Structure 1
Amino acid sequence: MTEEELKERLDAYVDEVWEDAVEDIRSLVRIRSVEDLGAAAPGMPWGPASHDALVQGLKIAERLGLEAHECEGYIGYADLPGDSRRQIATIAHTDVVPEGLGWTVDPFDVTRRDGYLIGRGVLDDKGPLVLSLYAAHFFKRLADRTGKRLPRTLRCIVGNAEETTMGDLKWYLAHYDGPDFCFSPDADFPLICGEKGVFHGHFTSAKAFGGEGESRIAWMDGGTVANAIPGRAEALVRADVPALPAAEGIELKEEPSGLVRIVATGRGGHASLPEGTLNAIGLLVGYLLDNGICSAGERGFLELQHALCASGHDGAALGIKTSDEKFGPLTAIGGTVRTVGGRLVQTVDSRYPTSIDGDAIRERLGALAEAHGASFAVDQDKVPFYIDPQSPEVQCLLRSYDDYAGGRSEAFVIGGGTYARLFERACAFGPHEPKEEVPDWVGPEHGADEGVSEESLRRALKVYVLAIWRLMQLD
C-alpha cells in the first residue's frame, strides 16, 4: 500500500469512527481519576478511582480488537501483534489532576461547544489516550482486510500515575523490556525533544501557627497539586473586618470568635508555564504582610512564601536563577500550602536547565529556609531529558506532522515533564496545537474548563497513524 492510499483510507476512517471516539473520551472523563493513596489497596495502588479509569481504558482497547492486559493495577497495555515481537509504542495516561475552581461546566463530563470538547482530561490526557487506541485500531482493521501485519508489534501503554510520581511507568520498566521507540501524545505539536529537570520540595515552618498568644494566623490552605499554580488560597486570621482594607483579588468574610477568612483568587495554570498566571498564595501572603496580619514569629515564613510565590517565577528571589542555551531559563513556583500539625507546609516546583542540578537547588533552598526560621526537604528530582532532534525517529514524526499541518517543523524543549523522560528512546508528540487561536472560554490543561478543538484531535489522529506507519519502516 502506498502512503497516498493509506491517507485516503485514513480520512474515511476518521470520519467513520469520530463519534465513537468522542463517546469513549466521555466515558473516561466521567471518572474522577485523581490519585488517592489513602484509599489504595492490592490491585489498586493509586486508589479505586484511578483504577476504574485504567480498567475503562483497557475495555476500550479490547473492544477495538487489541490484546489488553492489566499489570497488577499499576499500569496496563494493549498490543497489536506484528511480524516481530519488537515494539513501537505509544504511552498516554488515564489519571488527572484535581478539578480545582472556576469551572463553568461539569468538569467530569464532556461538554461539546462550537467544535470544542471541554472537560478534565480531554487534552491531558484521556483524549490523546483514546487517539492512540484508535490509531492502533486502524492498523487492526487494515490487517484484517489485507492479511498483512505490521513489521513490529504496536503497543499502546495505558498509564495511571503520570500526574504524580510516574510510579506506574517505573514499575512497568522494572518488569518489561522497553520498546525500540516510544512517543507520548501528552504535550504540544510539532514535537518535544527535551524536558527540563523537575524538582519538587517543601518548606515547613519551624514555629507552629494558630496557637494562643501573639499568633495571628490560625490556618492557611491553598492550591490543589504541587505542579500547578494555585488559583485560590485562603487563611483564617485573628482580625476585625472593618479594620482591613479592600484589595483586588481579596475577599473578606467574618467568622465566629473574632476570626476573619481571607480568600485570594488568582489565575492558575501549569507549573511549567507560569507566564500569564497569578499565584493566589502570593496574593494572599502579600496582603497579610502589607497589612501586618502576622506575628513577629510568623512573618519570617510569610516572607519566604512571598519570595517563592509573589516575586516572579525565575527563581531570582530564591537564589537559583539560571539559564542555558538548550533549555532556557529555570522556573520556580509555589504550588500548595497546607496547615499540618499547626505548621505551614509550602511546596515548591522548579523546572531547571542543565546549568544547575538538583543538589545545588536543594542546598540553596535549604539555606534560604534556615535564614527564615524554616526547614526544607526534597520530594523528588528528575534530571533533564533530551533526544537528538536529528535522529531518524524524530525526523520521521516531524515529517508526518508536516504532511497535515504544512510547512517545515522543528523539535523544541519544554519545562513540563512527560513519560518520555523515562525511556531510552522516546519523545512527546502533540496533540496540543500551541499556536492555535482558541476562544477565551477554552481553558488550558490543569486549568478550569480544560478544552481542545475536535478538529485538532481529528488531525492528530491522522498524524499518529501516519507516524506509526513510517516508524514501522525504519531499521
Structure 2
Amino acid sequence: MRNFKKYIEKYETAFLNDLQSLIEIPSVRDLSTKEIGKPFGIEIARSFDVFETVAKRMGFEVTNFDGYAIHAVTSEDLPYIGVLAHLDVVEAEGNWNSNPFMMQTKDDVLYGRGVSDDKGPLLAALYAMYILKEQGLITKPIRLIAGGAEETTWECMEYYFKKNPQPEWGFSPDGNFPIVNGEKGILQVSCQFQGFSSIKVKSKKRLDYVCEEVEIEFPIHDLAKVKEYAKQANSLTYNIDRVNLIYRGDIVLSRNPQRGVNALNLFFEDFKDYSFNDEFQKLKEFYITYLLDDNVGRKLGIAYVDEDMGSTSMCPMSVTWNEEVKEVCIDVRYVKGVTMETILEKLHHISNDINIKIDIIKERRLLYVEEDSPLIQSLKQAYKNVMDEEAEVHTKGGASYARVLDRGIVFGATFGDYNTRVHMANENIPKKDLLLAMEIYCEALYLLSNQNDV
C-alpha cells in the first residue's frame, strides 16, 4: 500500500493553519451584504478568497463561478473525478465554550464552527489532492468543487452544473465513514390554518430541528384547572385573565427526532384533553391525531421500512400561531418504497378533510447507490487499505451535495458514533480523525484516478 502518512505528517501544521484561516471567517449566508460576484454575502465570498489562496499556493488551477461555487482542479480535462464540499456554515447559536470562529484545540480535539461541517473535511480532501499531485500519482483529473449555499438553497450547485459537466464519479466528504450510499428523501411542509384565534404560540426554532422551546399564551377562567394540566411546563405565569406557558425540550436535528425531546409534544401531551374555544382547537386535534408521539409517520399513513435504507422519520419542527400566521411545520425523511408524491397525496387528503393548506418549504431528492457500484467498490478498497477493516454501507437522514451527483455518494469524514455536534454549539472533530480522513482520501482519490474500470 502507498505510504501517505509521512506526507500528511509533513503538512499537518500547514493544514491546521489553513483550517484556522477558514474557521475564522463567519461564512453564514447574509443577503443584506450581497453584491455582484457575492450572491450569498461578503463572508461567504471571503471564504472563497481564502480557499482560492490556499489552492493556488498548492499549484492548482482555480475558477470562481461568480461567487456561487469555486473549484480547484488538477486539470480541466474530461472525464474527471469530483469531490463536492461546501464553505458556508450555519449560525453559531447556543452556549459555546470558546469563540466559534477561532479554532481551538483541547485534548487534541478541534473546536469551531465548520471544523466538521464542512471546512475541515473539505480541506482534508484538498490536501489529499495536493499530496497526490506532488507525488505524481494522478492520472485522471480531479476537481474539488466547493459551494456557498449548501446550508440553505443549494443554488450554488445548480449554477455550477449548468456550466460544467457531471463528474464520472464523485463523493462528498460531508457525512460519516465508512460509506453513506443512501440519504433519505426530505420533505418539509407548512400546514396552515385559518380563522380567528385569541391564542398566541411561538417556537424558538423552525427548520431542521426538533422544537426546542415553545411559548403559549391563552385566555383562561380557571387558573387552578390550567395548573393541573400544565404538568410538564417549565414556566407558568398569569396576568389578569391570560396565562403564559413555556415548555422546553432537548434539541436535536429533525432527521433524528427520536434522539431528542420535542417541546411541542410536551405541551400537547399535557393539554390533549383541554378544550380551547377557538380555531386553535382544530390545530390541537390535528396535532394529537397525526403527529403526537410518532417519529415515523405512522399516524399520517407514510411509515415504511426499507431493507436497505431503514425507516421513514417524521418530526414536528414548530408551531407559529398569531394574527398573521397559523401553521405547524413538519419534517419528513423518506426511504425507497415511498415517494414525495405519495406523502403529499396523504397530506392533501388530510388537509381537504379539515380545510387546511399545505405548502412545501423544502424538498430534496432521495439518494441511493447500489453497493455493487464500481464507485463504492473502489471506496471500500480505499477504506480497507487504510483501516484494515471492511467498509460497510449505511443510510443517513441528512442531506449532502452527493444528491446533485448522477453517480456519487457520501464518504466521511467522521468515524463511528462520535458526536461532532454538527449545527450545534461546540462543533468539534478529533484532530486524529481529520488526519485519518485525509489519508483515506489520498487512497480513494488515487484509486479513482488510476483505475480505468471504475
TM-score for the superposition, normalised by structure 2: 0.89
* Equivalence for 1:270: 253
1:196 aligns with 2:172: no
CA drift at 1:99: 3.3
Amino acid at match of 1:445: V
CA drift at 1:334: 2.1
| Residues 29-428 of structure 1 mapped to structure 2, 5 A cutoff | 29-37=23-31, 40-81=34-75, 84-142=77-135, 148=136, 150-209=138-197, 215=198, 217-224=199-206, 226-238=207-219, 244=227, 250-252=233-235, 254=237, 261-287=244-270, 289=272, 294-306=276-288, 310-338=292-320, 342-428=324-410
CA drift at 1:370: 4.0
SS at match of 2:171: strand
Distance 1:338 1:410, change over 3 A: same
Contact 2:415 2:433 survives alignment (8 Å): yes
CA drift at 1:237: 4.1
What CA distance in whole angstroms lies between the structure 1 residues aligned with 2:291 and 2:427? Answer: 24
What CA distance in whole angstroms lies between the structure 2 residues aligned with 1:29 and 1:109? Answer: 6
Contact 1:208 1:342 survives alignment (8 Å): no
1:449 aligns with 2:430: no
Bigger drift between 109-118 and 246-255 goes to: 246-255
CA drift at 1:443: 5.0
The structure 2 residue matched to 1:18, chosen from 6, 12, 34, is 12
Distance 1:113 1:221, change over 3 A: same
CA drift at 1:324: 2.1
* Equivalence for 1:212: none
Amino acid at match of 2:385: D
- The superposition leaves residues 153-173 of structure 1 with CA deviations (integer Å, 9 ceiling, x where unpaired) of 211101111122322111111
Contact 2:291 2:299 survives alignment (8 Å): no
Distance 1:310 1:405, change over 3 A: farther
Distance 1:165 1:28, change over 3 A: same
Distance 1:267 1:57, change over 3 A: farther
* Percent of residue pairs identical: 25
What CA distance in whole angstroms lies between the structure 2 residues aligned with 1:110 and 1:52? Answer: 17
CA drift at 1:238: 4.4
Bigger drift between 168-177 and 280-289 goes to: 280-289
SS at match of 2:448: helix
Distance 1:342 1:90, change over 3 A: same
What CA distance in whole angstroms lies between the structure 2 residues aligned with 1:132 and 1:261? Answer: 51
Bigger drift between 122-131 and 23-32 goes to: 23-32
Contact 2:306 2:337 survives alignment (8 Å): yes
Amino acid at match of 1:119: G
Q: Which runs of 5+ in 2 are unaligned?
A: none
What CA distance in whole angstroms lies between the structure 2 residues aligned with 1:222 and 1:229? Answer: 10
CA drift at 1:252: 1.9
Distance 1:279 1:58, change over 3 A: farther
Distance 1:471 1:118, change over 3 A: same
SS at match of 1:207: coil
- The superposition leaves residues 33-90 of structure 1 with CA deviations (integer Å, 9 ceiling, x where unpaired) of 33344654432333333333333333332333322221111111111228x4431111
What CA distance in whole angstroms lies between the structure 2 residues aligned with 1:369 and 1:101? Answer: 36
What CA distance in whole angstroms lies between the structure 1 residues aligned with 2:191 and 2:312? Answer: 19
User: How many positions carry a matched residue from both structures?
Assistant: 450
Bigger drift between 403-412 and 305-314 goes to: 305-314
Q: Which runs of 5+ in 1 are unaligned?
A: 143-147, 210-214, 437-441
Amino acid at match of 1:228: Y
Contact 2:231 2:270 survives alignment (8 Å): no
SS at match of 1:376: strand
